[in-house]
Amino acid sequence: MKRMSVSAAIREGMREEMARDENVIMIGEDLGAMGSPFAITLGFLEEFGPNRVIETPISENSFTGMAVGAAMRGVRPVVELMYVDFIGVAMDQVMNQAAKMRYMTGGQVKVPMVVRAPMGSGRRNAGQHSQCLETLFTHIPGLKVVCPSTAEDAKGLIKSAIRDDDPVIFLEHKLLYAKREEVPEEEYVIPLGKADIKREGKDVTIITWSRQVYFALEAAEELAKEGIDAEVLDLRTLVPLDWEAIKESVTKTHNVVIVHEGVKRSGYGGELSAQITEELFDELDSPVTRVAALNVVPPFAPTLEDAFFPHPEDIVTAVKKVLNK
């Protein structure tokens, strides 16, 4: 094992895939000399050249559309958006072209592309640079959606996303980039659609992903001091969903709290709650509870932004409510 940051793990995973397959290319703004806004592609231009590391104008709809066309011709583009908030101007290319092409051609055309995008609050980036929009993409058939939390997961999942023959939305929380963790030295991949139990427990299942995994783990430690044994299930991939992992955990604990940083209204937690209630109702000892961000624009002011998204104490409160503690 070796220690590296989440950003370095993503960089290493992409570099390995570019070295393995000459069809893998990078497309986005400031990818070359700057190495992307968060330095993820630092050194790629020198190593792989301008034909595979393509710097673009500030025109997300054009270079995302270009990537769709390239993917249809057998290239494997990795598109980087500076922030997920900017994907709105490219939603036709993502939603109506990339997501639907394989189905509408009867499988004759594949679109093996990845759209990488930083997301999340906590950096005082205000309303247009701080959203978690994963729910938008889970609603669109044809897209796969990945939200890693750890460095090991980020590397293994980016490699699988690049190798996948369908379009993958790969969402990276900005405040996880600097987090350093152990990563295997040998080459490995993590399959899409496979959740991971980050902490085993028997009293309640906390289902979450991305940065909230760490908040859930912190909450679980606090709950343990009061004799409450919480299981933390990191979905890692929202689409495809590891329903078997959810079913197994809920069947064991019989109580569920779903935690995500996106706003609560119409969030992915609501979909999970509905599916658990519909299919696992007899296993539940209490109603499924959601912990999510407030239904407001992400504020700029530090005190307001901190009140906007969930923290460990919010998860602790929710678990106690579910367990009537």
pLDDT, position 325:
86
Q: Which of 29, 129, 181, 231 is catalytic?
A: 129
Q: For the segment 270-317, what is each residue's pLDDT rounded down to a tens digit?
A: 999 999 999 999 999 999 999 999 999 999 999 999 999 999 999 999
Q: Work out whether the CA dihedral 256, 262, 264, 265 comes out positive or negative.
A: negative
Active site residue 226: no
pLDDT, position 260:
98
Active site residue 60: yes
What CATH number does domain 196-322 carry, 3.40.50.920, 2.40.30.10, 3.50.7.10, 3.20.20.70? 3.40.50.920
Whether 35 and 179 have beta carbons less than 8 Å apart is answered as: no
Domains in the chain: boundaries: 2-183, 196-322
The total of other beta-carbon atoms located within 10 Å of residue 303's CB is 8
**pTM value?**
0.96
CATH of domain 2-183: 3.40.50.970
Q: Encoding tokens for residue 160? A: 């699988």
Kindly tell me the burial class for residue 37, based on how many C-beta atoms sit within 10 Å of its own C-beta (0-12, 13-18, 19 or more).
Answer: middle
Q: For the segment 107-133, what is each residue's pLDDT rounded down to a tens digit?
A: 999 999 999 999 999 889 898 999 999
Nearest of 19, 21, 49 to residue 164 by alpha carbon? 21
Q: Which of 60, 134, 152, 172 is catalytic?
A: 60
Q: For the segment 33-79, what is each residue's pLDDT rounded down to a tens digit?
A: 888 889 999 999 999 999 999 999 999 999 999 999 999 999 999 99
Whether 141 and 99 have beta carbons less than 8 Å apart is answered as: yes
Domains 2-183 and 196-322 equal at CATH topology level:
yes
